[in-house]
Amino acid sequence: MDFRDSKGAIINPTGKVEQHIGDQYNNYIQQIEKFPVPHQIPATPRNFIGRGDLISEILAGFTRGATVIGLRGIGGLGKTALAYKLAELLRDRYKDGQLMVNLQATSATPLTPSQAMSKLLRYYYPQVPLPESQEELQSIYLSTLDGKSVLLLLDNALDDQQVMHLLPPSSCGMIITSRRKLAFSDVFPIDLEVLKLEEARELLIKTARPHSPGLLPAEEPIWNEIARICGRLPVTLKAAGSYLACTPGSSPAKYVKELQDERKRLGIIGKEGVEEDLVTKLSLSYGRLAPETARVFRLLSIFPADFYAQAEEAACLDEEHRNLIELERWSLVDYEGSAEEGEGKYHLHDLVRLFALGLLEKEEDSASESEAWQRYSEHYRDVLSNATEIYQNGDPISALKIFDLERANIESSWEWAKKNPANICSSILNSPYILELRLHPLELISRLETALAGARKLNDRGMEGAHLGNMGNAYVDLGEPRQAIEHYEQALAIAREIGDRMGEGACLGGLGLAYADLGEIRQAIELYEHALAIAREIGDRRDEGVWLGSLGLAYAALGEPRQAIEHFKQILKFHREIGDRSSEGLDLGNLGNAYAALGETRKAIEHYGQRLIIAREIGDRRGEANALFNSSLVLFDLGKNSEAIEKAEIALQIYEQIDSPYADRVKQELAEWRR
């Protein structure tokens, strides 16, 4: 290959001219060779903060030979600033200088590999025409850098294809910043995360205080709150700090109050003190998306929390979540998970979600948005239904784990459903077994009232009866048996009207629970026996176990603990056979009470201990407090006052946290014990 200067003289890739070229051109080459060592990479920004652990990791990677690293993340994360810092720290390692080119990934016309190589080569050949052929340019590029120790910074890279042709010889190092994932084997990838909270606070204060020294001291917790709301992104932290420093009459407290409005938050953070605000940076990435991928991005603003790919596919109509994968490649969506851990979850940074929400409201018609919300709510209704089925099949731990992982989205789907289609609203609350363990009875009653209104609007008598019965259960848990009886009786009438034998049995048993709370034990026993007969008639073993256990409680209340124990033992065996840990825990607690009534304290404490283990295992706070308090009663009777008080105090803390009516009784007992 011939490489010619502007006069047609042939030169080789190192800039050496063949001997037949005249003295004039040789003099020019000598001038080129006198050029100083290049240092094109700017200095580290003065307000650069943090990243210490990551910097150490990257420098260690260079030491091990990983000399091409890729810094990936959304706009505003500080990728370029970190690259400048690394270049500063690597200056002595790469003694032949530092070169930099902006690959303009987010512009309408990103640089081609040829254009990028030409820009880098211009330092060495400022007046020599360069060939247009990428192959010829690459040959010159590699030959020029061969044997040199140069650090190159490729800022704002688009993708693998743009970067792969720019990889230097092994004697050189390279830092690449990109919003898009680079997957080729030569690069050591680093997914940049938001700043640690303490680093974010430091950057915020460092930006705000020099021009406004009268602001609150650095230790004030409100700085943490501003850093959290700003998403711990360098670009928003600098903008927020600059706003506080330059706005007369502003204060951190006032600013936090203004930032609470999610719809206006990005605008309030603004662009003070930064070249491009977060909205501008995100808009550059958004502008590079294909139309269908952009549509999916807008719809993702529906999700308030982490989500699995199946949920996104359902809500966004994204087959095999292809567009979600593309958004993750653009760093607009984060993914956490590994092959060892199984399926991972996706997540939008809070401020990215607000950006997408603004686009949704601006660019999506209301019908499309409503349809997406409906698909979203239907999906999480099915998630809750599936968890409930797992719970009913005797695996409460797995069921509660599903609910806890998906709770934020389930709650969000409920908030939308209760204002919209009555069928979704009603069906979400169909079987609230899990919600009984996770919601305060008053909150559950409030939701059931909304679901009941939906069922009545649909004239769905079956769902109406189910909601009334579940409200009765909640009132029993709340310690309001008369309210419970009122709702059970309405549900019972509906069950008999539509011929729902299972519902009829459940209502009869529920009435038994309410009458037992009123002290009318004989009437409760009669109702339990009717419910038990229906359960055996229809082959419902689960409810059979429930009413056997309730009969045991009734006999215990009548002062017949031995008969109660026989019922509890039967049902405990059944619940262990089917693996129902929640019911097993209740049985153990009831057995503990019965043994305590017989004066068999050792057995009582043993069963309370087993009850406590299960309650903590499944996150049953009410059951945990019951086990602790019942243990304390037995321990006090044994004269172990300090141990009894310790357990009762823990039980009281839990009862107060869940707003239980039993808290008052524990306070009374503790007051007496301390006299």
pLDDT digits (tens, 9 = 90+) for 436-446: 888 888 899 99
Q: Is the pLDDT of residue 262 over 70?
A: yes
Judged against a pLDDT cut of 50, whether residue 601 lies above it is answered with: yes
Cβ–Cβ < 8 Å for 586, 624: no
Longest dimension (CA), the chain: 120
The three-class DSSP label of residue 179 is: coil
> Per-residue pLDDT averaged across 165-180, rounded?
94
Candidates 123, 139, 371; CA nearest to 131 is 139
Looking at CATH, the fold of the domain delimited by 52-191 is given as Rossmann fold (3.40.50)
Spatial separation of the C-alpha atoms in residues 282 and 351, rounded to whole Å: 10
Q: Give residue-wise pLDDT tens across range 43-58.
A: 999 889 999 999 999 9
Mean pLDDT, rounded, for 457-468: 92
SS (H, E, C) 10-67: EECCCCCECCCCCHHHHHHHHHHHCCCCCECCCCCCCCCCCCHHHHHHHHHHHHHCCC
CB 478 within 8 A of CB 514: no
How are beta strands 3-4 and 10-11 bridged, if at all? antiparallel
Q: What is the mean pLDDT of the chain?
A: 88
What average pLDDT does this structure show over 415-434? 80
- Decide if pLDDT at 33 tops 70: no
Tens digit of each residue's pLDDT (9 = 90 or more) over 309-331? 999 999 999 999 999 999 999 99
Going by the DSSP 8-state scheme, the letter that residue 269 receives in this structure is H
Q: How confident is the model at residue 24 (pLDDT cuts 50, 70, 90)?
A: very low
Q: Are 596 and 634 in contact (CB under 8 A)?
A: yes
Would you say residue 11 has pLDDT above 70? Answer: no
DSSP 55-119: HHHHHHHHHHT--EEEEE--TTS-HHHHHHHHHHHTTTT-TT-EEEEE--TTSSSPPPHHHHHHH
Which DSSP string corresponds to 209-248?
GGG-TTSPPTT-THHHHHHHHTTT-HHHHHHHHHHHHH-T
Determine the angle formed by the axes of helices 662-673 and 641-657, rounding to 10 degrees. 150
Nearest to 653 by CA among 674, 667, 637, 641: 667
Percent of the chain with pLDDT strictly greater than 70: 92
Alpha carbon of residue 260 to chain centroid = 20
Task: Render pLDDT for 371-412 as a digit per residue (tens, 0 to 9).
Answer: 999 999 999 999 999 998 888 777 878 888 899 999 999 999
What is the predicted pLDDT for the residue at 546?
85
289-364 topology per CATH: Arc Repressor Mutant, subunit A (1.10.10)
Question: Using CA atoms, how far apart are residues 601 and 102, in angstroms rounded to an integer?
Answer: 77
- pLDDT tops 60 at residue 633: yes
Query: What are 467-526's pLDDT values in tens digits?
Result: 999 999 999 988 899 999 999 999 999 999 999 999 999 999 999 999 999 999 999 999
Question: In 3-state terms, what secondary structure has residue 499?
Answer: coil
Summarised one tens digit per residue, pLDDT across range 79-94 is: 999 999 999 999 999 9
Q: In what order do the strands lie in the sheet with 98-102?
A: 98-102, 151-157, 173-178, 68-72, 188-191
Other Cβ atoms within 10 Å of 109 Cβ, number: 7
Alpha-carbon separation of residue 669 from 612, 664, 672 (angstroms): 20, 9, 5
Query: Which residue reads 């590079």 in tokens?
Result: 288
Neighbours of 18 (CB within 10 A): 10
Mean pLDDT of 162-186: 91
> What kind of fold does domain 439-558 have according to CATH?
1.25.40
pLDDT for the residue 580: 81
Contact 76, 281 (CB under 8 A): yes
- What are the φ and ψ backbone dihedral angles of 671, each rounded to 5 degrees? -60, -40
Break the chain into its structural domains and give their ranges.
Answer: 3-33, 52-191, 197-279, 289-364, 439-558, 569-675
- pLDDT value for 54: 94
439-558 and 569-675, same CATH topology: yes
CA separation for the pair 632, 59 (Å, rounded): 58
Q: In this structure, are strands 151-157 and 173-178 parallel, antiparallel, or unpaired?
A: parallel
Residue 215: its pLDDT value, please?
62
pLDDT in tens, 339-353: 455 688 999 999 999
Stated pTM of the model: 0.76
CA-to-CA distance for 520 and 508, rounded, in angstroms? Answer: 14
CA atoms within 13 A on the CB side of 633: 18
Q: What stretches of 260-339 show up as alpha helix (H) in DSSP?
A: 265-269, 278-286, 291-299, 309-316, 322-329
Tokens for 175, please give them.
């830092």
* Res 34: pLDDT: 54
Q: Using pLDDT thresholds of 50, 70 and 90, give the confidence band for residue 250.
A: confident
Place of tokens 């010159």: 140
Say which range, 14-23, 213-222, 639-648, has the weakest mean pLDDT: 14-23
Its CATH class, for the domain covering 569-675, is mainly alpha
